[in-house]
Structure 1
Amino acid sequence: MNEKEILKLVGARIRISRKKRGLSQESLGEKGGFHFSYIGQIERGEKNVSLINLAKIANALEVNVAQLFSYVHEDSELTEADVEVKEIVMMLRESNLEKVRMAKNVVREIVREKE
């Protein structure tokens, strides 16, 4: 994958996340502290965004930075539930084994309630 492809894929992921939340480029820019034209340049793959700015954008979108690197085509967009599950998995990966097992038991009980 070349540099331009990476920029376009990350930009597309930001655009998908922004639209999914009903935000304009201007409102995302305001939330992240950027000019709307900068957001547009990132979404079109014209700007090589820094990691710090990428973290600010992810925060403004209320997503994990890693989600901006999960390359999903617009026609196969993740559901809201998929996004939530991925966030839970990311949190669990940062936890110790005991906490992972506790989370597993909690999830098991929640799923049993639905049956």
Structure 2
Amino acid sequence: MNEKELYKLLGANIKSCRKRSGWSQAELAERINLSVNFLSDVETGKKWVSPATMLKLAEVFRLEVYELFKPEKMFSDRSQKLLSKYTEDVVCAVQKVRQKYRVVK
């Protein structure tokens, strides 16, 4: 793996984690104190983040830093789509329960 591929892997994983969390780029950028434009460049593999930002990302996603570098292609595209859909369904269900019972995060 070369440096460019590493940038793209990190960016893709950040984007994937952000989407699984149900956040827009603006929401994630605010949570970790980055500009939306910079976050966009990171997600597309154009820019790299500092170690401090990597720690913030891992913390906000409740991961270990090394998990930001795990290739997602451990599953087939079909399996990946099913996992993504399942994750979206779970997030929606949790949000509905929180709204119904006014649970504050």
TM-score of the superposition, structure 2-length normalised? 0.67
Name the aligned partner's letter for residue 65 of structure 1. Answer: V
- What is the aligned partner in structure 2 of residue 15 from structure 1? 15
The worse-fitting range, judged by mean Cα deviation, of 28-37 and 58-67 is: 58-67
Give me the whole-angstrom Cα distance separating, in 1, the residues matched to 2:54 and 2:66.
Answer: 10
Higher relative contact order (CA 8 A, sep 6+): 2
Indicate the RMSD between aligned Cα atoms, in angstroms. Answer: 2.0
Superposition deviation, residue 61 in structure 1: 2.2
Q: Is 1:56 matched up with 2:56?
A: yes
Count of equivalent residues: 79
Q: Which amino acid aligns with 2:59?
A: N
TM-score (norm 1): 0.61
Name the stretch that deviates more: 8-17 or 67-76: 67-76
Structure 1 runs, 4 residues or longer, greater than 6 Å off: none
Of 17-26 and 62-71, deviating more is: 62-71
Q: Which amino acid aligns with 1:40?
A: S
Whole-angstrom distance in 1 between the partners of 2:42 and 2:59: 16
The answer to whether structure 1 residue 35 and structure 2 residue 64 are counterparts is: no
| Displacement after TM superposition at 1:63 (Å) | 2.1
Counterpart residue identity of residue 16, structure 2: I
Which residue matches 2:101?
Answer: none
Other-structure match for 1:44? 44
- The answer for unaligned runs of 5 or more in structure 1 is 80-115
Amino acid at match of 2:68: L
